[in-house]
Structure 1
Amino acid sequence: MTPAMNAVTAERLLRAWEAALDERSVRRGAALLAGCLARSTDSVAAWSLTERDAGLFDLRAELFGTEATGLASCPACGDELEVTLDLSALRPGSAGPADRQAPEDQAVAARTPNSDDLLAAAEQPDEEAALAVLVARCVEPGAVPRQLARQALSARLAEVDIQLQLDCGSCGAAFQVPFDIAAFLLREVDAWARRLLRDVHVLASAYGWTERAILGMDARRRHLYIDLIEAGA
């Protein structure tokens, strides 16, 4: 079960963002979540992607709410669509990091990969080698035909493969686009962090306040002070 998400302070989120920047791309989502939960990145990287993504959806709801907007390009006509998402409807169910069982219609037991599994796969020279590593790490060892092992892994990967069903308003084409909550939230937090650091610079330069004091203010008060500075008051 994903731990409950308590209020995340600006300082904690900023530290989590910095920690995520220091990680390889496939572990950044785990690092961001770990920092906000006051856990180690290694511990969260061991969670299944299902559980990690559930935690990231919860974190996004805590930080920015459950509604989000984004852009998608129609593959048929090239027009850009503005998409409004209800992220609460996309949140996956939570599965434990050690979960390993066979679906009813399969005889091969496999677990959903975690961030460290993806890191091991990313270090391989090609897709075939990466897939072999995932199978070796995530499928129950034994005398299993390669095709069945890969099917078992694919069934687990499908649990975290979110595809948005979209219709182009210009040409009427129906198409799918993938949605990655880790990449999406990291972009949002990156933009937030850079705005916040600009605010810290402006307020520290104008008033001589410390970073800690500025981060301890709520956003409304920071913005009011910045409005006064920009107005020349």
Structure 2
Amino acid sequence: MTVPGAEQLLNLWERHHAAHPLRRALALLEAAWPQADALAWAQVPVGVRDAWLLRLFEELFGPQLRTVADCPRCGERLEADFLAADIRSREPAPPAQPLHWQGAGCSAAYRLPTTEDLLQAAAAGADAKRALLRRCIVQARQGRRTIAPEALPDDAAAGIADAMAAADPDADVRLGLSCPACGHAWRLGFDIVAYFWGELSDWARRTLAEVDRLARAYGWSEQEILRLSPTRRQLYLELLRA
């Protein structure tokens, strides 16, 4: 892993702030593991991608994460802190593929969805789930007859989707939450792609504000300020506040 420095991170954030969230994820991975470009990262299973993103997040921002949610029963706002280790299910290595599913009078060989699959399926709009299955099912059969993936009955399609999720658990992380006000317990989905970019955006804006203040006070260039360690930047900012 090559942990991006402050200047590289700011440049990445600026270039991709208007990009599709999945494109942002690929850019982050490419920056940290440049031996594989964005096209290569787009071909790995989603859960593997997210496990590597979580590892990069820890290197940049530490192991602590926080979520804010409203209780679906009483509306109470609650915050929950957790560690990256709490949601990491395994080492980021893809299972052997293709995988196989059987049920509801049908069978299928399939592979796990990738970022490229999600991007292409999203273009299908309301038919995104079926479009994703069409891309990921290698072969489908109903009884002894080979059929097109889109011809699978709804219950078979749902069964395959559930099997995909079970085979790639890091692609669908759920946090167990309990409301202190009413005692209601539920599971909340956690999206490392959105969370990572949100934290990166907050960091970028804080860093630019620090650069602005130090540049005004000392006449340093942005590049000179970003080359300072975070600790040294904070010490200079404390001197300005004194």
TM-score w.r.t. the length of structure 1 is 0.85
Q: Note if 1:157 corresponds to 2:188.
A: no
- SS across alignment from 1:70: strand
Counterpart among 20, 26, 34 of residue 16 in structure 2: 20
Does the CA contact (< 8 Å) of 1:34 and 1:44 recur in 2?
A: yes
**Worse-superposed segment, 172-181 or 204-213:** 204-213
Please say if 1:78 is aligned against 2:86.
no
Aligned residues of 1:164 and 1:176 also touching (Cα < 8 A): yes
1:67 aligns with one of 47, 64, 67: 64
Question: Residue deviations 1:58-92, cap 9 Å, x none?
Answer: 01111122222221211111111110112112124
Distance 1:133 1:104, change over 3 A: closer
Structure 1 residues 100 and 197, CA gap change in structure 2 (3 angstroms) = farther
Residue segments in structure 1 that go unaligned for 5+ positions in a row: none
Matches within 5 A, 1:209-224: 209-224=220-235
SS in structure 2 at match of 1:198:
helix
Q: Tell me which amino acid in the other structure corresponds to 1:152.
A: I
Quick check: 1:16–1:36 contact (8 Å CA) kept in 2? Answer: no
**Separation in 2, partners of 1:225, 1:104:** 64
Aligned to 1:51: 48
Give the fraction of aligned pairs with identical amino acids, expressed as a percent: 36
State the secondary structure of the residue aligned to 2:195: helix
| Residue 10 of structure 1: aligned partner | 6
Q: Deviations over 1:71-122 (max 9, x none)?
A: 1211111111110112112124324499432269894222221112111121
* Structure 2 residue identity aligned to 1:37: W
How many Å separate the matches in 2 of 1:139 and 1:103? 10
Of residues 142-151 and 10-19 in structure 1, the stretch that sits farther from structure 2 once superposed is: 142-151
Equivalent residues of 1:50, 1:112 under 8 A apart:
no
Higher strand share: 2
Taking only aligned residues, the RMSD between alpha carbons, in angstroms, comes to 2.4
Q: Which runs of 5+ in 2 are unaligned?
A: 141-145
Q: For residue 108 of structure 1, what is the amino acid of its counterpart?
A: A
Aligned pairs, number: 225
CA distance in 1, matches of 2:241, 2:95: 49
2:206 corresponds in structure 1 to 195
Task: Please tell me whether Structure 1 or Structure 2 has the larger radius of gyration of its CA atoms.
Answer: 2
**Counterparts in 2 of 1:98 and 1:196: CA distance versus 1, 3 Å:** farther
Mapped contact 2:25–2:193 kept (Cα < 8 A): yes
